Structure 1
Amino acid sequence: MTESTTNELGWMLDEVLRVPEALHAILLSADGMLRAHSAEIGRDDAERLAAGLSGVQSISRSTAEFCGSADTPWQQTLIEFAHGYVFLVAAGEGAYLAVSTTENVDMEAVTYRMHKLVDRLGRELTSPVRTDTGSFL
């Protein structure tokens, strides 16, 4: 079984949720595949959100020139809603970590916790680009 099938990294994502008002966490690949999810979000919802968040990251990355140069590397995206936030950070080559929170979260604490998790786990959070996308024959 693959990591995404067994959710082996899910317990590590739950550590980010120790920040009060943090709700859910998912680990996704650049192509929108779910790698892991926290305990409080169902697999179906996590898969749907992983696909959407990969698009958000792609759009964020494509607007780098707005900050001065098209070569500016993407690091993080923050989306604000009326009742909460979604934080999306780079988590290694081809991998991203997303966390949702309420509007009352300590934003510095959640981003600090996310970056510490990414730093600590390093290679385990890396999702290399898939090269074999041809037929299964």
Structure 2
Amino acid sequence: MTQRRLNMDWMLKDLAAGVPQTRHVVVLSSDGLSIAELSTSEPPDGDTDTTDRLAAACAGLQSLASAIAAEFPHGDGRMRLVVIEIDGGFFYLMAAGQGAYLAVLADEGVDAGLMGQRMRDLVARIGEHLSSAPRSSEPAL
């Protein structure tokens, strides 16, 4: 897992550098576990609690979005993008591969369209690297 986290740093830094006002980027599994994260706070807070809270909340949002998507008869029922605008900023959650999601917190001044586009570009380029294999209940040998 450490190697994977290191390999994802450049991807997350590229997204954050390309969109001013980006605060936090998290790649997570569909069950709410952080795969990789980047905080752009000055100084970087390194707060794993923030990452864990975001990952858990994202799992809940993904589940809710999937339930809503199932109401559309001609779709596949999968969530692709959730955007929440709140006082102070934006939250984005995007499907990023089989069982993986990309989540971003951005400040109020962010270019919302640019963020969505850069997230789509990132997922299109490297989506297969963001996939999270299903967990096995069998003990590892």
Short-chain TM bin: 0.7 to 0.9
The residue number in structure 2 matching 1:86 is 91
User: 1:102: how far off?
Assistant: 1.2
Q: Secondary structure at the match of 2:109?
A: coil
1:107 equivalent in structure 2: 112
CA contact (8 A) 2:30 2:101 kept: yes
Consecutive unaligned residues of structure 1, counting only runs of 5 or more, are none
Q: CA deviation at 1:136?
A: 7.0
Normalising by structure 1, we get a TM-score of 0.85
Other structure's SS at 1:63 match: helix
2:58: which partner in 1? 53
Q: 1:126 aligns with which of 126, 131, 136?
A: 131
Q: CA separation of 1:67/1:80 partners in 2, compared to 1, >3 Å: closer, same or farther?
A: farther
Matches within 5 A, 1:20-59: 20-40=20-40, 41-59=46-64
Give the conservation status (yes or no) of the 8 Å contact 2:27–2:35: yes
Deviation at 1:133, TM superposition (A): 2.3
- State percent identity of aligned pairs: 35
Q: CA deviation at 1:10?
A: 2.7
Aligned residues: 134
Preserved CA contact (<8 Å) 2:21 2:107:
yes
Q: CA RMSD in A?
A: 2.2
Deviations 1:37-72 (A, max 9, x none): 014353332122111111111111111145455743
Measured in 1, the distance between the counterparts of 2:21 and 2:69 equals 30
Instruction: Report whether the alignment pairs 1:14 with 2:18.
Output: no
**Which residue number corresponds to residue 74 of structure 1?**
79
Shift of 1:73: 2.8
Larger CA deviation: 8-17 vs 61-70: 61-70
SS class of match (1:80): strand
1:65·1:72 contact (CA, 8 Å) conserved in 2?
A: yes
Residues 23 and 39 of structure 2 are in contact (CA less than 8 Å); yes or no, is this contact kept in structure 1?
no
C-alpha contact (below 8 Å) 1:27/1:34 kept by paired residues? yes
Is the contact between residue 11 and residue 39 of structure 1 (CA under 8 Å) also seen in structure 2? no
TM-score normalised over the length of structure 2: 0.82
Cα gap change, 1:64/1:122 in structure 2, threshold over 3 Å: closer, same or farther? closer
